Amino acid sequence: MSELVPGGNLPLPEGAVTVRVAGPFDVSALVTDEGGRVRGDADFVFYNQPSAPGARLAGDTLTVDPRRLRADAARVTVVVSPADPATPLGRLPVPVLEVSRVGGGALARFTPPRPRQETVLLLAEIYRRGDGWKLRALGQGYADGLGGLARDFGVEVADETPTTADAAVPYPGAAAPPTSPARPAPSASRPAPTSSSAALSPDLDTFLTLVNSARSAVGSSPVSLDPRLTRAALAHASAMASAGRLGVEGPDGVSVFQRVTATGYTYITVGEHLVSGPRDPTEFVEYCLRTEQPRRTLHDPSFTDAGLAYVSGSRSGDTYWTALWARPLTDADLARTVDEVVALTNRRRTGAGLPPLAADPQLARAAQAYSTDMAARAFYSHTSPEGTQPWDRAAAAGSTRRSIGENIACGQRSAAEVVEGWMNSPGHRANILKPGFTHIGVGFAGGGPAGTYWTQLFGG
């Protein structure tokens, strides 16, 4: 593992990495272009808006996948500030940055000089260099607070913190922009709640009526309430309330997708709204219809089932909502999805003047088993926890192909999205366009921390 000094650089491996800062700090990130500016408020990732394309915050750990950043992103700046805004950084332990592969070992550590009067520290930046990405250690202090830092990067920040009812902040971040990056100070006039209360009914009837009316208006079929999705929604809303923040992953380390599959609901596609602020289902649905990404999820014709829960009485006094949308996994849907991945892959090959790949049942069996394994055991790597490699898994499934290659991906919600992601990655694209490969098997599974796990296994 490398020990970095201010200004030191580290070439990053292909794929996702994590940066972790343990201790009494808030971690945040800004996704910027070559000019050092964000494209919009959604490019500011912080505790109340913990996601942007390619960047996801869970507690003290930021996961960055450069392959999934927006197309013109050139830099992700990692920022730390005190979890208690009243405490100067100089009174806290020095924030130590730890960089690791996702599912792999440690890459580097950076210990910056001790801050003095600074209120925010630019700790590191992940930046594009040619066809690859690097990490540069910074350790640059910033005296104007997180709000001032955000403004300098182009984020619009309100001067005053809104009330809870005004601050409906979704996850993922393609909706209401962060109204204030600073943690709101606790209100002296509002007693700290001593317990949480969960709401399930009769509000569910109101929710379903409003949702299906909105879906009908755009030609989408109605959804039905599924008790398993509602149980998963309640568990996740409760977890967010106990932590006092929104996030796909709760303080117990369990993702909302894992809560869904734990109820016995297996899905071919899933969507989620994680929101704080609305006071009732009417306000919640109005919020979802106000902005593009939440509206698209609510209208999505592929969903057939839904679940909703909210929990109030958390330490912050906020109300935390979880709405889940899904379509159950069937053999027909799985076959259609796999066939679509194969067809899109072959379209890219024929466009490059290569022959299409033929479906191979042994490779398909190995690919499906591996996607299922990654989702069930919550890992993401070409090497399984037992140390097996793609060619080992292919042989175990009965394949006699002499040449084996593998692409994996997680988090993509459709066949088109996953193939596009692979084609935008040099190593994955090389497998898809390798002339020596003649056959393919594809696997898909829902669940795990990322929600979806995809495998392409090639043979020649």
Q: Which of the two residues, 241 and 177, has the higher pLDDT score? A: 241
* Backbone φ, ψ for residue 324 (5° rounding): -120, 140
Greatest mean pLDDT range, 21-35, 209-223, 285-299: 209-223
Kindly report the CA angle at 411 between 20 and 378, in degrees rounded to 5?
Answer: 65
Percent of the chain with pLDDT over 70: 85
Kindly report the CA angle at 215 between 210 and 218, in degrees rounded to 5?
Answer: 135
Contact 311, 319 (CB under 8 A): yes
pLDDT exceeds 70 at position 193: no
Distance of CA 318 to the CA centre of its chain: 23
175 confidence band (pLDDT: 50, 70, 90):
very low
Strand 267-276, strand 320-328: pairing: antiparallel
* Of 265, 285, 278, 283, the residue nearest 311 (C-alpha): 278
* Element at 235 (helix H, strand E): helix 227-243
190 confidence band (pLDDT: 50, 70, 90):
very low
Q: What is the DSSP string of 407-432?
A: EEEES--SHHHHHHHHHTSHHHHHHH
Other CB atoms closer than 10 Å to residue 264's CB: what's the count? 8
Q: What's the whole-number average pLDDT of the chain?
A: 83
153 confidence band (pLDDT: 50, 70, 90):
low
* Backbone φ, ψ for residue 225 (5° rounding): -75, 130
| 247 vs 254: CA distance, rounded Å | 10
Q: Which of the two residues, 1 and 239, has the higher pLDDT score? A: 239
| 82 vs 94: CA distance, rounded Å | 11
| DSSP annotation of 327 | E
> What count of residues does the chain have?
460
What mean pLDDT comes out for the span 163-170? 26
Among 26-35, 204-213, 263-272, the minimum mean pLDDT is found in 26-35
pLDDT exceeds 90 at position 159: no
Residues contacting 325, CB < 8 A, separation 6+: 223, 270, 271, 272, 273, 297, 298, 300, 303, 305, 306
| DSSP annotation of 91 | G
* Element at 454 (helix H, strand E): strand 451-459
Contact 297, 215 (CB under 8 A): no
* Backbone φ, ψ for residue 60 (5° rounding): -95, 10
| 153 vs 30: CA distance, rounded Å | 8
What's the alpha-carbon Rg for the chain, to the nearest Å?
23
Contact 73, 126 (CB under 8 A): no
Start-to-end Cα distance in the chain: 37
Interhelix angle 331-351/415-423, rounded to 10 degrees, is 30
* Backbone φ, ψ for residue 269 (5° rounding): -150, 150
* Of 373, 389, 390, the residue nearest 457 (C-alpha): 390
* Of 124, 25, 30, 143, the residue nearest 81 (C-alpha): 25
What mean pLDDT comes out for the span 387-395? 93
| 435 vs 394: CA distance, rounded Å | 19
Residues contacting 278, CB < 8 A, separation 6+: 165, 168, 284, 286, 287, 319, 321
Residues contacting 124, CB < 8 A, separation 6+: 19, 77, 78, 97, 99, 110, 135, 136, 137, 138
Condensed to tens digits (0 to 9), the pLDDT of residues 17-57 reads 999 998 888 899 989 887 777 777 778 888 778 888 999 99
pTM value is 0.59
What mean pLDDT comes out for the span 346-357? 97
Condensed to tens digits (0 to 9), the pLDDT of residues 52-88 reads 899 999 888 999 999 999 888 889 999 998 887 777 7
Q: Which of the two residues, 86 and 411, has the higher pLDDT score? A: 411
Contact 197, 311 (CB under 8 A): yes
| 98 vs 346: CA distance, rounded Å | 40
Contact 234, 305 (CB under 8 A): no
